[in-house]
Structure 1
Amino acid sequence: MSKKNNTLSVYAEISRIYHDPAASSLVSPLVQINVLFDNGSMAKAFLPADQLTTSGLKKAVPRLRGLPDICPLVRELNTQFADIMDGTVPNFETFFGLLLPRTGLQRLPNGHSLYVLGDQLIGPIAMPVLPRPPVSYHMMLSPIQHPLAALFSELVYCSATVVVPIIFLFATLLRSWINEITPSWQAVLAITGGQGLGKTTLARKITDWICDSQNKPALLYSAGSTPAAIHDTMVTARDLPLVIDDLCLSASPKLQQKYRDLGAQFVREGTNASGISKKAGNQTMSFSCNAGIILTAEFALENPSDITRCIFIPLTQPPVVASSLTPELIGAACRRFIEWFLQHESEAAEDFRKINSEENPDDMHPRIFHNFLILRTVFSLALRAAREDGMSASSSEAITERYEVGIGQSQQYQKKLLNALDRSKKKGNLAFVLLECYGDSEVFNLTSNIKKLHKHDGIMWKNNLCLRSAALERAVRLQDGYQNYTLSKIVRELKNMGALVIQEEGTLQVRLKKGTPRVYCIRLDVLEEYEERF
């Protein structure tokens, strides 16, 4: 398939044509070109087929720029390409290979799967494959023989708060596959707690096995990093964990709110509740997050929908982490889990399809239930893989107990956050609140004897609810959303709606009879008129 261009003294031939199995037929395949110069040196180039032009070839092989005319060479390459694609070349099938331009799980045309784990290709390879993810990652893997069994054995000696992040990591490795099998998984891992509790240490423990070309952690960003860099990685680090670190508290209210808004933004983008906007030329395009997001923060989120999209790891003290739980061990265990999964994909798919038939408990948000159900299913798969890798029955029982404790802590913390937010939300206006209080015999200690008013909260007097000031303020401030109401604000709102009976100027309280304490006389008919439930 090669010819010599006598003018240029250079050989060139197409050695392979790679197709992306996930791309449409309109996407140009990638052509591998081998170039041999007359001095015996060689060059290899990869070009999209639609860039088999003079400028494209010179850009791919800079040495060709010094030659006077490579048009004949370009024409020859295009002829070779057309002959291979038309099938007029003997054994033309041998020229084709698979292009995998992204990390993570890859579905092949024959129904099988391969996995691109950074710089490693995992799975049965039946034809030439070219992994070319947009960013090159180097994986630090221990050469231990049974890494998954070793990892789970070490986790037995760690805090429960360490186990759940490891399972989240395994789920992230299957993220794209999970979202194909079951409704979209809307979960980020949020490690929360005060300064010095080991949030960053824990996050790095499960991600530092993924390195860049200089062997530095590749998927760790400070929350203060440029949003563009974080967004690029959220899109390109498919099926890999991405840490966004140090959403911290600040003495500056403005800076504090910035971090809170940033945390909420990352949660929504990380779960694809909102798209990631990136500029491409003069256009703004929206992309999906393909990475598993891990946040470390000194505060919890403020929006209920954001809270339901998190799997929380609340730290109240530094977690116990076994010294032998190294990034290299975790990386090797991840590879072993992927190898096991590729051999049991159909069984795993059946387990995940069962998720869709499970009924949601009445006391749990559907999104929370779905997220923890997925995590539980991944844990079950990882446990089976570890057993087959040699984990003992005693370790299996112990790690299951650790996992359940960690999940319980996470769900309890999440419920506490949601309950606190629910209590801060008004259920109705002030008229609604007072009518609810009036209808509850345990709220107001009323008397029917005016002479005993000084010993009680109030009295019903001429169809009006008459309350002493302390009782009125206490009852309102106990209601959801009214915790910060002052007596003056309560009275002002009642006055504005015309619900107060006023006897004399200078005071909004009345004295029902001589010698009795003053009260606020509230008209129930006005409350009923203005009542509004939110």
Structure 2
Amino acid sequence: MSGMGIYRDGKRLCNFEVAVTQIYRWADGPNCGALAFIDLHLRSDAGCYQERVPAECIGKLEFLKRHPDLCLYQRRYRDSLSACLSERLSEYLQRNTGGLAFCQTGLHRLEKGAVFVAGNRVIGGCEVDAIFSQDIARLHLEPARYESGRQAEELLERLQANDPFVTTPVFAFGILTALQSLVLECGIPLASVLYISGRSGLGKTETVKRFFAVYDQDNTGRPALITEAGSTMAGFRENLRAARDLPVVLDDLCLSTGKDSQRKRLQTGAQVIREAANKGAVRTKAGEHGMLPSTEAGVAITAEFDMQTVSDVTRCIIVSLDHPMKGGRTDDRSIAAGALSAFLEWFLPRYEQEAQLLRERYQATTENKRLDRLATGQFCLQWAFERFMRFAVETGATDETCYKETIRFFDRTLKIWNKKQKQILDRIESAIIKESIPCLLWKGIQKKIIPVHQKLKKLEEGYAVIRGQDLFLPPGVAEWFISVQNGYRGINRNRIGRALKLAGVLVTHESDKANTVKPAQGFHRVYHIRLDQLEKAALFETGGNGFENSTSASTFRGF
């Protein structure tokens, strides 16, 4: 092969020949459609080499540094060799369409149909010559080990064996995660995080790994995209950015005996829930603007406690464990991964039809009622599981009768978890102070919840007494009434007295620093409150609202 090389204008530029063998265009991301990589075949007297060169680096000829036997005869020939490469690339582009390079996982709509980038492989695109950016090439979803029907049947049996009240919604959330960008594309404001709670040792993490976090780190079999709660948020955010339509887990938000530590863990959980639910761009490092990719990952959190705010709880689909999980098998995770893969193979050819049906279903559901965040998440979860069960029917894993029974079971399961979630919300609501103590007392008198009389002797029988503008209120009556109001559970009399004094409605004696007085000789101490000042404080707080048809303080002068 003497004389091998590239010639230009009668000059031999180098001792090797080069040919473009494949090109790849970006299928997604900010440079969608632009050249991504170029495959080169290099041949010299010493041997042959294959190089994949980033498109923006093709003119730099840096690949020559990796092969010392490839020689450019003179430095001034660099521009000529670059021009020659550009010409050959142009000729190749005129004859070939090339392959696709992906920098994002999840659902993609290509000219020939929809595909799903499951880390280092494409599902639903048999004819696609694809390569992947380094971030997503490390992720692997195990293919189905059986034909689709048997894989689905096996998965349903595993769900049944592992407490289906827990495993079914967990697996369904994995299906919803895979279809998340379709849901958002349909204009449905999905903002849900799977929140699995329960005391230590019940199997929360193992359940999530088996039926939700089914992607591996490369081909190692180790679960990917799982961050320990004690790790830095930067690592978790990196997973969020890399995992569009993929499952991401924040594991083990555990209880702490220290108040500061527990508060930090609550803050971490709340921060993760907000970032995951908002589906916006996220900045992971100083200096980044966080524009791409977005945080369209499906997030699951395992925790030993419930979140403490209404906004956080309504962003979650909560599954709580109260007994140990049993019945698991070592290959549950492999079966779940294969079932997800087989489902996507079935779903992708139906992408457009399924998207249209989802839009129509959502519009019909919201035509006469508005779905809040919690209801929207449950609507989407129900839809996703129904699509999986329809796949199971069409592949022969089950029949229509079993389909209907399973859907009814899933509906009941969601209602059970929804009821428990609303109990959590009610508990949070009951701890929120919505009105001040003076305002509550005024309302209690207006609505005749607090028993009122005009004779002082009735104070000993548990009545409040009104004489003109003076209200004599026994501390026990005040404590009984206030302690059942939202945010005041466990309140004591001292706190009630301080609140009334701070509001400027108490009448006290100059010689007595106590917040209570004796209305007459022989009586127990009571709160002495000016009705006109109590009314003024209540009206100031509410702006006059909420007291329609109410009685003014002057009306009580008849007592």
Superposed pair shares fold, TM > 0.5: yes
Q: Aligned partners of 1:480 and 1:90: how far apart in 2? A: 73
Amino acid at match of 1:107: R
Q: CA deviation at 1:477?
A: 1.9
* Counterpart pick for 2:342 among 336, 340, 344: 336
Q: Aligned partners of 1:46 and 1:500: how far apart in 2? A: 82
| Larger displacement relative to structure 2 (180-189 or 505-514) | 505-514
Q: CA deviation at 1:533?
A: 3.4
Partner of 1:51 in structure 2? 57
Pairing 1:186–2:187 present: no
Q: CA deviation at 1:402?
A: 3.6
Mapping 1:143-162, distance limit 5 Å: 143-145=145-147, 146-159=150-163, 160-162=165-167
| Larger displacement relative to structure 2 (19-28 or 190-199) | 19-28
Pairing 1:426–2:428 present: no
Question: Per-residue displacement from partner, 1:439-467 (whole Å, max 9, x unpaired)?
Answer: 233x3233344333311232222233221
Q: 1:223 to 1:44 in 2, by over 3 A?
A: same
Q: Aligned partners of 1:317 and 1:120: how far apart in 2? A: 38
Question: Per-residue displacement from partner, 1:185-227 (whole Å, max 9, x unpaired)?
Answer: 2111111111111111111112454222333222222112232
Q: What is the DSSP-based 3-state SS (H/G/I as helix, E as strand, rest coil) of the residue aligned with 1:19? A: strand
Structure 1 spans left out of the alignment, 5+ residues: none
Q: 1:405 to 1:69 in 2, by over 3 A?
A: farther
Amino acid at match of 1:204: K
Mapping 1:417-456, distance limit 5 Å: 417-441=424-448, 443-456=449-462
Pairing 1:172–2:173 present: no
Pairing 1:500–2:501 present: no
Q: Structure 2-normalised TM-score?
A: 0.85
Question: Per-residue displacement from partner, 1:97-138 (whole Å, max 9, x unpaired)?
Answer: 222222211111x26111222232222445543344623223
CA contact (8 A) 2:433 2:487 kept: yes
Q: CA deviation at 1:78?
A: 4.4
Q: 1:521 to 1:324 in 2, by over 3 A?
A: same
Partner of 2:551 in structure 1? none
Partner of 2:95 in structure 1? 93
Q: Aligned partners of 2:67 and 2:417: how far apart in 1? A: 59
Q: Aligned partners of 1:218 and 1:321: how far apart in 2? A: 24
Q: Structure 1-normalised TM-score?
A: 0.89
Amino acid at match of 1:101: C
Pairing 1:262–2:271 present: no
CA contact (8 A) 1:152 1:386 kept: no
CA contact (8 A) 1:511 1:517 kept: yes
Q: CA deviation at 1:140?
A: 3.0
Amino acid at match of 2:123: I
| Larger displacement relative to structure 2 (399-408 or 180-189) | 399-408
Amino acid at match of 1:178: V
Q: Aligned partners of 1:260 and 1:66: how far apart in 2? A: 60
| Larger displacement relative to structure 2 (350-359 or 25-34) | 25-34
Q: Aligned partners of 1:258 and 1:103: how far apart in 2? A: 32
Partner of 1:530 in structure 2? 537
Q: Aligned partners of 1:28 and 1:91: how far apart in 2? A: 10
Identity of paired residues, percent? 24
Q: CA deviation at 1:273?
A: 6.0
Pairing 1:198–2:203 present: yes
Q: 1:13 to 1:64 in 2, by over 3 A?
A: farther
Q: CA deviation at 1:163?
A: 0.2
Q: 1:466 to 1:70 in 2, by over 3 A?
A: farther
Pairing 1:376–2:382 present: yes
Partner of 1:211 in structure 2? 216
Q: Aligned partners of 1:446 and 1:497: how far apart in 2? A: 22
Q: 1:446 to 1:164 in 2, by over 3 A?
A: same
Amino acid at match of 2:99: G
CA contact (8 A) 2:159 2:167 kept: yes
Partner of 1:62 in structure 2? 66
Q: Aligned partners of 2:74 and 2:242: how far apart in 1? A: 35
Q: 1:107 to 1:412 in 2, by over 3 A?
A: same
Q: Aligned partners of 1:361 and 1:513: how far apart in 2? A: 61
Partner of 2:517 in structure 1? 510
Partner of 1:299 in structure 2? 305
* Counterpart pick for 2:317 among 311, 314, 325: 311
Q: 1:114 to 1:25 in 2, by over 3 A?
A: closer
Q: 1:317 to 1:78 in 2, by over 3 A?
A: farther
Q: Aligned partners of 1:193 and 1:102: how far apart in 2? A: 34
Partner of 1:102 in structure 2? 104
CA contact (8 A) 2:192 2:377 kept: yes
Amino acid at match of 2:494: S
* Counterpart pick for 2:141 among 130, 139, 142: 139
Q: CA deviation at 1:358?
A: 1.9
Q: What is the DSSP-based 3-state SS (H/G/I as helix, E as strand, rest coil) of the residue aligned with 1:293? A: strand
Partner of 1:406 in structure 2? 413
